[in-house]
Structure formats: structure tokens, C-alpha cells
Amino acid sequence: MPPTPHIDERFHLAPQAVLEREEFRLAWPHGGLPVALDRAAAAMLDCFSDSLSARELAEDLEVALHLSAEDARRSAVSTTLALRSTGHLILDGQRPMPAARLGYPPSASP
């Protein structure tokens, strides 16, 4: 499992392919793992279209959803960690690894 992101590190969306439906979104980051997102999770992913830190996301969640500071911080950090581990978020200034270098999809079994 990747390390917990530092709360002030800034992340942005990795380029991705998306299948959008009214109730959910399927997203495939470039060279990462696909994920199914409900509307709330898709909205949180969209917050990273501009570079954003977990601290900034927590502050927005606290105000917008009237969460306690601790609940907002926990939600922001766990969301950032989950999206980073699947390749949907990358550190600001980085680019996703080209899919050709990942050996994906795996070759067929003999």
C-alpha cells in the first residue's frame, strides 16, 4: 500500500478514459487501475482537475458539508490515498508513466 500522502502535497488528475452514466462513473487512469465511482466520489475526483492538496480539500469539505475538521481531514486524506493508489491522482509536476512501459495488459497465459 502506498504511504499516506502528506497533507500539504498537491495532486492532480492523471489523464484518463471515462464512461459516464447518471448514477456512476467508470474511470481508467493512464496505466493505472480502473475504478467505479458513485456521484459523490466522482465529484471529489473532479476537485483535482486543478492541483489540490488534501488539506485544501478538507477545508472545502468542512465548509461545504458542515463536517468537523477531523472528519473532513480524514475524508480528504483517505480519498486522496485511495485515488493515488489506483493511479487516478499523481503528484503535482509529475506525469503518469506511459502505459507501454507497464507491460499492461498482461500477456495471455500459455
Find residue 33's DSSP bridge partners: none
> Among all chains, which residue has been given the C-alpha cell 488539506?
55
**Is pLDDT at 57 greater than 90 in this prediction?**
yes
Q: How far apart are CA 61 and CA 56, in angstroms?
A: 9
Each residue of 3-14: pLDDT tens digit? 556 789 999 999
Each residue of 62-88: pLDDT tens digit? 999 999 999 999 999 999 999 999 899
Torsion sign (Cα): 63, 91, 33, 98: positive
**Is pLDDT at 104 greater than 90 in this prediction?**
no
